[in-house]
Amino acid sequence: MSVSDKQIGVAVVGAGRAGMIHAVNFRKNVPGARLVAVADPVPEARSHAKGALEIDKAYEDYRDALSDDEVDALVVVSPTAFHRDIVIGAAAAGKHVLCEKPMAMTEDECRDMVSAAESAGTKLQIGFMRRFDAGFRKAKETVMSGAIGDVVMVRSNTRGPSVPQPWMYDIRKSNGPLAEVNSHDIDTLRWFTGGEFKTVYATGGNYRSPDAKADWPDFYDNVVVAATFDNGMQGMIDGAQGVAYGYDARTEVLGTRGCVFIGRLNDESVVTCTAEGNSGSYPLVRSWRQLFEPAYLAEDISFTECILEGKEPEVTGHDGLMAVRVVNAGNMSITEKRVVEL
């Protein structure tokens, strides 16, 4: 079989919301790939995925997917704490991996994952899908063209409508909203500045999660980060959970001669304005799944092309590691109330 005729067999580990986005893509929409199986320890999730995707294989244990000869690659969408072991196991089995963010809990875990893939000669791509979003890519081209001059500062926010899941309250197990919510913003700042974080100062607070306050006093559902970069640029991030008003992901790239604005809050291009109160109203984006659906597909297509064409992923294990480094520095800054140097 020639490379052009090869069909990459894919298993998705984790049949939750993000997992099902990837699974549907590989089931129907990714040229050169086919969905072979899903794996999830939750019986209800397996049953739903098996029926919705019309596939025969739904494993309780991801290791069954590793021993499946039809599986060439894994998409890892499990809780972060399990990423290291799954990715290392996949590499040992000769399987390529697209690993969702956050890459892992610590830098050492990330290094283990990178090393395993390098030793096995397998691909390791990290799921920062905003790099595949059409708007973000156009903005990157605009910045690279010099249209706004030299980049001075990048500001990015992600604010989600949903309240945090209880398992997130323990920062030691979740790495907090900086990991779960703002990993994308951290990567966005690295991507547009072309530099690495030099200093981080973060403040966090719990404003919307009363259930967490008694047992998890260090939990925060709102965070603000100020950063400097090794190339002299500046950065700002704000993140929030449970904002209720909608899903809000926007970025600004400020240059010496202009600014690029990325993202939108309105769900439609049609805006309705009335004379009452001189105000306008429009429907808001409700979910990241709705906003970034095309970006997930582009990401999955790119991952498949990397395998078929033998090229390196656009988003590497190093990118994932550097984001985890900033997450951990930010959490340290919040706890110790000081600027952290990286």
pLDDT for res 206: 98
Q: How far apart are the first and last CA of the chain?
A: 48
How far is it, in rounded angstroms, from Cα 326 to Cα 303? 25
- In degrees rounded to 5, what are phi and psi of residue 29? -125, 0
Region 112-129 average pLDDT: 98
Q: Model confidence over 36-88: pLDDT tens digits?
A: 999 999 999 999 999 999 999 999 999 999 999 999 999 999 999 999 999 99
- Listed range (212-216, 218-222, 291-295, 299-303) with the worst mean pLDDT: 291-295
Region 325-334 average pLDDT: 98
Split at pLDDT 50, 70, 90, the class of 89 is very high
pLDDT for res 45: 97
Select the more confidently predicted residue: 65 or 1. 65
Is 131-292+323-341 a CATH 3.30.360.10 domain? yes
pLDDT for res 277: 45
Split at pLDDT 50, 70, 90, the class of 250 is very high
pLDDT for res 268: 58
How far is it, in rounded angstroms, from Cα 168 to Cα 181? 11
pLDDT for res 273: 47
Q: Where are the domains of the chain?
A: 3-129+294-316, 131-292+323-341
Select the more confidently predicted residue: 101 or 280. 101
Region 281-310 average pLDDT: 87
In this prediction the pTM is 0.93
Answer yes or no: is pLDDT of 26 > 90.
yes
The C-alpha torsion from 166 through 167 and 172 to 177, rounded to 10°, is -70
Q: Do domains 3-129+294-316 and 131-292+323-341 have the same CATH topology?
A: no
pLDDT for res 5: 62
pLDDT for res 216: 97
Q: Which CATH class, in words, describes the domain spanning 3-129+294-316?
A: alpha beta
**Mean per-residue pLDDT of the chain:** 93
Burial class (CB in 10 A: 0-12, 13-18, 19+), 340: buried
The C-alpha torsion from 41 through 43 and 46 to 52, rounded to 10°, is -160
